[in-house]
A and B are shown apart, each in its own frame.
Chain A
Amino acid sequence: EDQVTQSPEALRLQEGESSSLNCSYTVSGLRGLFWYRQDPGKGPEFLFTLYSAGEEKEKERLKATLTKKESFLHITAPKPEDSATYLCAAETGANNLFFGTGTRLTVIP
């Protein structure tokens, strides 16, 4: 059965304290691994897609990496405006997105 597990469920960081969020996946025929940011009351906002193990993508303070079993979202020197829920999702051979439950990040000034 396809499964996407994110950890931790919640993370509190001091401003400037770097950390990583984990996304472990077990899916048949992974076609892509997606990261989204979701603010309260809003829909998911696309951040990255990774397609193959070893691939990395960066955007401002965020960097996403992918292995054959998991993906990491590294946050370098976070700011309070980075506070949000971060979702990962696997595109399976069934051509739809299978989401994890997210990591709720709070960055304290």
Chain B
Amino acid sequence: NAGVMQNPRHLVRRRGQEARLRCSPMKGHSHVYWYRQLPEEGLKFMVYLQKENIIDESGMPKERFSAEFPKEGPSILRIQQVVRGDSAAYFCASSPAGAGLGAQHFGDGTRLSIL
């Protein structure tokens, strides 16, 4: 049973470009969470999604960032017009419906570097 898969593992973008980060949840998991880990900081919650629904996006920056979890396919975190401050590790976690946060399984993250 494959774990949470994130790709790419490393992504380099120039300022002003777009970054797309993908997350395939574990089989049977319908809830996806995105977190950002800045250097020397803890993981910060960004957004919580279920299939075709954004449940909580209170941690998402208001501009340039968006997330989706379509009926088919992976969840996507999209960052438009990237800036140097977007350089971070982005982690996705998934859990089954109704299982609570303790059942979250994390992927190994995407390291985003902005030149």
Beta-carbon contact of B101 and A99 below 8 Å = no
A44: interface (CB < 8 Å) = yes
**Total chain B interface residues with beta-carbon distance under 8 A:** 24
Quick check: A99 and B42 within 8 Å, CB to CB? Answer: yes
Q: Which of B64-80 contact A (CB under 8 A)?
A: none
**Contacts A41-B108, A87-B43, A102-B42 given: A96-B91 contact, CB under 8 Å?**
no
B4 — nearest CB in chain A belongs to which residue? A43
| A39 to chain B: closest residue by CB | B108
Residues of A within 8 A of B42 (CB): 4, 87, 99-102
Which A44-60 residues sit within 8 Å CB-CB of chain B?
44-46, 49
Which residues from chain A contact B104 at a C-beta distance below 8 Å?
A: 46, 97
Interface residue ranges, A against B (CB under 8 Å): 4, 32, 34, 36, 41-46, 49, 87, 89, 91, 94-102
Q: Would you list 11 pairs from A and B whose C-beta atoms are within 8 A, ordered by A residue?
A: A4-B42, A34-B101, A44-B43, A89-B43, A95-B101, A96-B45, A96-B101, A97-B33, A101-B40, A101-B41, A101-B42
